Amino acid sequence: MAVIFILPYVIVSLGSPQVKESYGRMRASENFISVKTEEGIREISFEDYVCGVAAQEMEKEWPLEAVKAQVVVVRTNLKKYSQDHPGSLLAEEYLTLEEMENQGILEKMVQAAEETNGETLTVQGALVQAPYHALSSGRTRSGQEAGLGREYGWLTAVESRQDAESEKYLFVGMAEPETVQACITAEYPGAFDKGKKQIEILERDESGYVTKVRAGSQEMTGEKFRSLLGLASSCFYIEKTGELLRITTKGLGHGLGLSLYGARRMAETGADYREILSYYFKNCIIS
């Protein structure tokens, strides 16, 4: 009996007309798309989806202009992905209407979508993949120097000194060398088999991020090393202290493109979203 009563509800709840009606309460757009979720495929307004994806990084106290900047970046990336992968479903995690409403950011997200009115970032008329991160080392990264010239050759480094004021800016941790080695050998077996136990930073970019590091006999990018050890950023410093390694990181994230903390601080001092985006994406046009 339970199955008999529940099944029609499930069918109605997951069917596109009901989903469409629910998301249609948003004023931003009537352009519905299909997206892939853990629960299956859903039909949702594209602008609602933009709001939901952008909202994952937002907090209630964020200024509207910073929210607008993030909405434009997310909209750009979603449109760029759809353009580059025709026929593929978007599958970014996003907050639902209810989740945004519970966090007290629903109206702000809708307003940001409406007031940016479908705007995106382009270089020479083409959509870009616009990266963003929580906060930088105090300066964002150049795409060329990060070794990402093919994808982000247009991306220049800019000062973002206000990031150093964040409580999440600096992290200092201690680790046993054996623990660090185990993290690396899980990916690169034999890296320390030749008697080389040292970890040496070989190259940094102009913003202080490590671009090349050697662990034992294995060379890798700073981002790869960061991933293996779960570091906050690839702007890191390692020194031996007694029997332990002291690892210091600056910033949070990969350091490319828009610093969300920097955008927030710029908005708090009176900058609008266009000024924010033009500062962090100097070679882009907002269109």
The reported pLDDT for the residue numbered 140 is: 98
Distance CA 252, CA 262 (A): 12
The reported pLDDT for the residue numbered 4 is: 34
The reported pLDDT for the residue numbered 197 is: 80
**Beta strands of 163-261 (E only): which ranges?**
170-175, 199-204, 210-215, 218-220, 236-241, 244-250, 258-259
Per-residue pLDDT of the chain (287 residues; tens, 9 = 90+): 343 333 333 323 333 334 443 444 444 446 899 999 998 999 999 999 999 999 999 889 999 999 999 999 999 999 999 999 999 999 999 999 999 999 999 999 999 999 999 999 999 999 999 999 999 999 999 999 999 999 999 999 999 999 999 999 999 999 999 999 999 999 999 999 877 789 999 999 999 999 999 999 999 999 999 999 999 999 999 999 999 999 999 999 999 999 999 999 999 999 999 999 999 999 999 99
Distance CA 166, CA 188 (A): 35
pTM of the entire predicted model = 0.87
Distance CA 273, CA 257 (A): 14
The reported pLDDT for the residue numbered 30 is: 60
The reported pLDDT for the residue numbered 16 is: 38
Structure tokens at 209: 């991020």
Q: Is residue 67 within 8 Å of 112, Cβ to Cβ?
A: yes
End-to-end CA distance of the chain: 56
The reported pLDDT for the residue numbered 200 is: 95
Which residue type sits at 72? Answer: V
Bridge pairing between strands 132-133 and 258-259 = parallel
Bridge pairing between strands 40-45 and 32-37 = antiparallel
Average pLDDT in the chain? 90
